[in-house]
A and B are shown apart, each in its own frame.
Chain A
Amino acid sequence: MNAPVKIETTLKDWETDQEVRWCPGCGDYAILKAVQRTLPQLGADPANTVFISGIGCSSRFPYYMETYGFHTIHGRAPAIATGVKLANPDLDIWLVTGDGDGLSIGGNHLMHVLRRNVNMQIMLFNNEIYGLTKGQYSPTSREGTKSPSTPLGSYDHPARPAAFALGSGARFVGRGFDVSKNLPEVLKAAHAHQGAAFIEIFQNCIVYNKDVFNDFAAPKGAEDRQLWLENGEPMLFAGGAKGIALDRDRLELKVVDVAGGDWQAADVLVHDVTNRSIAHMLVEMPFGPFPMALGVLYDDPRPTFETAVIEERAKASEGKTADLAKLLGKGQTWTVSGTAADPV
């Protein structure tokens, strides 16, 4: 792969002439702007950037990005993106999916793209509802969600996207929400990660699941309810008055009070993005008793799938020429001259 050349662009360069068709007030607008704001900061090249999506509200995203874009079919974007990346590893691929597209119909492909570690950024817009099909509950909907298909309330246990990703073998798991000013930082970290980088973005569906994330995303009281993780920094929230520590007897996390800023005394954990065990605890950390863990939860790269494929192909081809005539005549052959057959 060639090292990408940094290109100077502005936010405007990433906007298409297409009319954006999301509902007014939809969280998708904020995510779109965050992405369009982030890409110039990365020095990304629009011609080398591909947005690939499945089906759903989130999957309209490629039409609004002045890049290459492929709006595919329901749930299959990870598989298509894998083919694109294998065919041209130099392309910078952003996958856009949702909780229905990525975890219901496309759960299988999402698992495998993460497991294989194909180098791309995967943004899963989680609004805990089906939007484009008009409001049915989704695999991330909370138990008891009333919807057209569950008028008395849903009873399935919701999937947890970040936990799913980590469990599938993801080497990067980030979290943010639509209107968060920190979202671009998470996107940048994901982009810097070589491999499949999974970002769960909580997104407010103002029509079918309005303000469902307000319990932690609302500006008021956000400090007490959001734990923004930073590598090498103590896991503090509530203005530093509280922190996350390890209950060493039960091997689980706990909230501790921090007196006078002395987080060491309170045994608050220092975030290490390469600590997979703690990452497992962070993605499972229940909101309510705990704050919502946001930012880069886990980031520990390992060789990517496409690199392995390319290296294997190069190795297997070493010293061989692509001689088709030779290939066709391979194996045990015989030559006919006139009518007699002579084995060669």
Chain B
Amino acid sequence: MATQAADTPLEAENPDAVVVRFAGDSGDGMQLTGGQFTLSTALAGNDLATFPDFPAEIRAPQGTLFGVSAFQINFGSRQINTAGDAPDVLVAMNPAALKVNLAALKPGGLIIADTGEFTKRNLDKAKYENNPLEDGSLAKYDVLAFDISALTIEAVKPFGLGNKDALRSKNMWTLGLALWMFDRPREPLHEWLRAKFKTKPDIAGANIAALDAGHAYGETAELSGPLKQLHVAPVPSAPGLYRTITGAEAVSLGLVAGAQLAELPMFFGGYPITPASAILHHLARLKEFGVTTFQAEDEIAAVCAAIGASYAGQLGVTSSSGPGIALKTEAIGLGIMTELPLVIVNSQRGGPSTGLPTKTEQSDLYQAVYGRNGDAPMPVVAARSPSDAFECAIEACRIAVQYMTPVMLLTDGYIANAAEPWKVPDPASYETFPVQFLTEKNDGDRLLPYKRDAKGARPWIKPGTPGLLHRIGGIEKHELTGNIDYSPDNHQKMTDARKAKVERIAVPDQDVALGESTGKLAVVGWGSTYGPIHQAVGRARRKGLDVSHIHVRHIWPLPANLGALLKGFDKVLVPEMNTGQFKTVLRDQFLVDAEPLTKTSGQPFQIAELEEAIGRYFDGIPGNEGGEVPANEQQLPISESGHDDGTYPDAPFHGDDAALPGEGSDTGAVNQ
């Protein structure tokens, strides 16, 4: 919103972008509300990015601070790359939701609060001594407080529901109001509710009534002051068919596409873990695409079954998050040693150990690149956005089958859950890479299972093929026959061959995402930091700063030109949601003075944080010489405006591997 003169776009009648955060109790259905609002936003032709932020607890005690679930959406009439730094509108369904999310709200922002939930009991649970709606503490915001609970009960009265059931429609009432606020049609929601509650027409009717009542409230209540209708114009975008897509969906579809391009059936071995389970769920419904999904007894069995399937001639895929990847590590080594294709998807989350199951982080980069016993090189590809995950999944499949190697695809909790509009690609526009299995002896009358092709890849031989009987295993093997061979020369050769094969993988040259290919400062990112970096670099460039954005997809092997590209800049800044892992890799590989900018709060970078960090290279230096002010040595401090990362410091993270919260099961609703 840097281009906006006003403090908040709400003051403009036709703002170019607005950030709305829906916050409530885990049981209030905020993810569903957000998902449906996202869909209506997409249908309105706005560009958008979302950030679902929910607790690890399935149903935390009602009204508590750690039970707060939020869904943020940034939408606009221009390109949107992030879910937005600070919300312009905060919908707070109870005191806890207000308390946890208030600090993020933009000064002058609008709070919509349900007074029906601001009871003494709920205020106590949220640790408010006084009712913030009444004590003047919200003076710097616009507050619109009314009894949504009572209005909902009134609206659904004709359906004869008890109060408890009636209140379940509160989120639809709120959604109705939001639809009015941004001038969105209700019909798609009506249709969706009728389909969702096909067998329970009363519930469908109640929800529709609540939605309509919320909409009507905005229309007719004649509220003076903060509530007014805003028009966010459609973003000009390339003609074509669009849909919204989350990272988990994109990975699933990309894997299916990758298997088709390889002309192979796919075998997916998984074990439930947040935030990776969604991939298992999506693929389990795609059996007609030759997909076999297998929920294994543990992470180890999941990857082992995938290796077994690859050995037998299918495309073996497994997916997990950091702790599960740790368990799979030995088996990944077996895949590297036996040289079998395997795709491993790591939806990273906060670590170490169980860490922050539902929060995002990029701290598994070392694990991906280095985290195995022995010299065990493995290609690593990182997706930068939900839609990019589709392309990256195809790329991972291609590398795996062409080079006979396990490949790790890195996404993270943010990418997995976030949604964005996606221009539906034409599968025919992708180049196929059909697999050729070995069907006859490859060395005269001998079979040499480890004889390599020009790329350094060994042949793929399906058991069951007559005449090609052979044995493979995790023990060091002869460089050609694959028989056990511990001899010193052979191990040296095989170690070298495995390394060379991965290093020689054809990786496209690195491009510059924004800016010139030489200059004062390169901001180098990977993964889900793409959005905030891109926006921050764009803003800095509009201020005239000589800064470029480089975003790396191929983490291992790195693009061949990357070293030279980085050396064309005076300074290299590497923002990461970890303590500086990619920075270390870049320093090691290219001897460049890459400087870290780190954040490990479980929340994505904000544009402002990055803008500030970029500014430090140029601020106060006549002629913008750049680089004389060192980048931050430590993590960024919380900015003065109080826009912290949105987490609540006292909120404990209970529980183990929480799945999506109860309401979260509806997060996929945007594509129903």
* Contact residues in B for A67 (Cβ distance below 8 Å): 469
Q: Is B17 an interface residue (CB 8 A)?
A: no
Q: Is A251 an interface residue (CB 8 A)?
A: no
B473 contacts A71, CB within 8 Å? yes
Q: Is A335 an interface residue (CB 8 A)?
A: yes
* Contact residues in A for B483 (Cβ distance below 8 Å): 18, 63
Return the contact of B308 from the options A83, A90, A338, A344 (Cβ within 8 A): A83
Q: How far is the CB of A162 from chain B (nearest CB, A)?
A: 21
| 0/1 string, A316-344, CB within 8 A of B gives 1 | 11001110110111111111111111011
Given contacts A48-B464, A69-B472, contact A338 B234 (CB under 8 A): no
Q: Is B217 an interface residue (CB 8 A)?
A: no
Q: Is B9 an interface residue (CB 8 A)?
A: no
B466 contacts A86, CB within 8 Å? no
Q: How far is the CA of A43 from the CA of B391 in the complex (A)?
A: 48
Q: Is B4 an interface residue (CB 8 A)?
A: no
Q: How far is the CB of B540 from chain A (nearest CB, A)?
A: 28
* Contact residues in A for B428 (Cβ distance below 8 Å): 325
Q: How far is the CB of B555 from chain A (nearest CB, A)?
A: 26
A73 contacts B330, CB within 8 Å? yes
B289 contacts A87, CB within 8 Å? no
* Contact residues in B for A343 (Cβ distance below 8 Å): 43, 188
B45 contacts A70, CB within 8 Å? no
Q: Is B260 an interface residue (CB 8 A)?
A: yes
Within 8 A of A (CB), among B286-334: 286-290, 292, 294, 296-298, 300-302, 304-314, 316, 330-331, 333-334
Q: How far is the CB of B43 from chain A (nearest CB, A)?
A: 5
* Contact residues in B for A189 (Cβ distance below 8 Å): none
* Contact residues in B for A91 (Cβ distance below 8 Å): 312, 463-464
B464 contacts A68, CB within 8 Å? yes
Within 8 A of B (CB), among A97-123: 108-109, 111-112
* Contact residues in B for A55 (Cβ distance below 8 Å): 474
* Contact residues in A for B242 (Cβ distance below 8 Å): 333-336
Which residue of chain A has the shortest Cβ distance to B484 in the bound complex? A63
Which residue of chain B has the shortest Cβ distance to A21 in the bound complex? B484
Q: Is B382 an interface residue (CB 8 A)?
A: no
Given contacts A322-B289, A333-B424, A341-B44, contact A87 B241 (CB under 8 A): no
Interface-central residue, B306, B309, B672, by most chain A CB under 10 Å? B309
| 0/1 string, B42-72, CB within 8 A of A gives 1 | 1111000000000000000000000000000
Which residue of chain B has the shortest Cβ distance to A75 in the bound complex? B300
A68 contacts B427, CB within 8 Å? no
Given contacts A76-B331, A309-B292, A335-B242, contact A327 B253 (CB under 8 A): yes
* Contact residues in A for B672 (Cβ distance below 8 Å): 331-332
Q: Is B194 an interface residue (CB 8 A)?
A: no
Q: How far is the CB of B597 from chain A (nearest CB, A)?
A: 36
Given contacts A340-B45, A341-B43, contact A80 B308 (CB under 8 A): yes
A72 contacts B334, CB within 8 Å? yes
| 0/1 string, B630-672, CB within 8 A of A gives 1 | 0000000000000000000000000000000000000000111
Within 8 A of B (CB), among A196-230: none
B301 contacts A84, CB within 8 Å? no
Judged by DSSP, the binding face of B is mixed
| 0/1 string, B252-269, CB within 8 A of A gives 1 | 010011001000010101
* Contact residues in B for A327 (Cβ distance below 8 Å): 253, 256, 286, 289
Q: How far is the CB of A206 from chain B (nearest CB, A)?
A: 22
Q: How far is the CA of A87 from the CA of B312 in the complex (A)?
A: 6
Return the contact of A62 from the options B297, B468, B471 (Cβ within 8 A): B471
A87 contacts B267, CB within 8 Å? yes
Q: Count A interface residues, CB 8 Å.
A: 64
Q: Is B504 an interface residue (CB 8 A)?
A: no
Judged by DSSP, the binding face of A is mixed
Q: Is A47 an interface residue (CB 8 A)?
A: yes
Within 8 A of B (CB), among A1-60: 16, 18, 46-48, 50, 52, 55
Q: Is A313 an interface residue (CB 8 A)?
A: yes
Q: Is A252 an interface residue (CB 8 A)?
A: no
Interface-central residue, B269, B312, B314, B425, by most chain A CB under 10 Å? B312
* Contact residues in B for A84 (Cβ distance below 8 Å): 308-309, 311-312, 463
Return the contact of B425 from the options A78, A328, A336 (Cβ within 8 A): A328
Q: How far is the CA of A317 from the CA of B311 in the complex (A)?
A: 25
B424 contacts A341, CB within 8 Å? no
* Contact residues in A for B302 (Cβ distance below 8 Å): 79
* Contact residues in A for B130 (Cβ distance below 8 Å): none
* Contact residues in A for B221 (Cβ distance below 8 Å): none
Q: Is A82 an interface residue (CB 8 A)?
A: yes
* Contact residues in B for A65 (Cβ distance below 8 Å): 471
Return the contact of B309 from the options A63, A70, A86 (Cβ within 8 A): A86
Q: How far is the CA of A68 from the CA of B312 in the complex (A)?
A: 10
Given contacts A86-B305, A335-B240, contact A68 B463 (CB under 8 A): yes
Q: How far is the CA of A328 from the CA of B245 in the complex (A)?
A: 10
Given contacts A324-B257, A331-B671, A336-B238, contact A72 B314 (CB under 8 A): no
Which residue of chain A has the shortest Cβ distance to B269 in the bound complex? A83
Q: Is B239 an interface residue (CB 8 A)?
A: yes
A336 contacts B45, CB within 8 Å? yes
Q: Is B426 an interface residue (CB 8 A)?
A: yes
Q: How far is the CB of A237 from chain B (nearest CB, A)?
A: 39
Given contacts A70-B311, A72-B474, contact A332 B300 (CB under 8 A): no
Q: Is B561 an interface residue (CB 8 A)?
A: no
Q: Is A88 an interface residue (CB 8 A)?
A: yes
A339 contacts B234, CB within 8 Å? yes
Which residue of chain A has the shortest Cβ distance to B668 in the bound complex? A331
Which residue of chain A has the shortest Cβ distance to B249 in the bound complex? A331
* Contact residues in B for A262 (Cβ distance below 8 Å): none
Q: How far is the CA of A344 from the CA of B240 in the complex (A)?
A: 12
Interface-central residue, A16, A80, A91, A316, by most chain B CB under 10 Å? A80
Q: Is A66 an interface residue (CB 8 A)?
A: yes
Q: Is A312 an interface residue (CB 8 A)?
A: yes
Q: Is B125 an interface residue (CB 8 A)?
A: no
B300 contacts A79, CB within 8 Å? yes
Which residue of chain B has the shortest Cβ distance to A66 in the bound complex? B469
* Contact residues in A for B307 (Cβ distance below 8 Å): 72, 80, 83
Q: How far is the CA of A121 from the CA of B46 in the complex (A)?
A: 59
Q: How far is the CB of B99 from chain A (nearest CB, A)?
A: 35
Q: Is B462 an interface residue (CB 8 A)?
A: yes
Q: Is B243 an interface residue (CB 8 A)?
A: yes
* Contact residues in B for A72 (Cβ distance below 8 Å): 304, 307, 334, 473-474
A contact set with B: CB distance below 8 Å: 16, 18, 46-48, 50, 52, 55, 62-63, 65-73, 76, 78-88, 90-91, 108-109, 111-112, 309, 312-313, 316-317, 320-322, 324-325, 327-341, 343-344
11 A–B contact pairs at CB < 8 A?
A: A66-B469, A70-B471, A73-B333, A83-B311, A86-B308, A87-B312, A108-B297, A330-B671, A332-B42, A335-B239, A336-B237
A-B pairs, top 7 by smallest CB distance, nearest first, are A83-B308, A341-B45, A71-B473, A83-B305, A331-B671, A79-B304, A69-B471
With A86-B309, A112-B297, A333-B243 given, name 13 new contacts (CB 8 A).
A69-B470, A69-B471, A69-B473, A73-B333, A79-B302, A83-B307, A84-B311, A91-B312, A91-B464, A316-B287, A317-B288, A322-B289, A332-B42
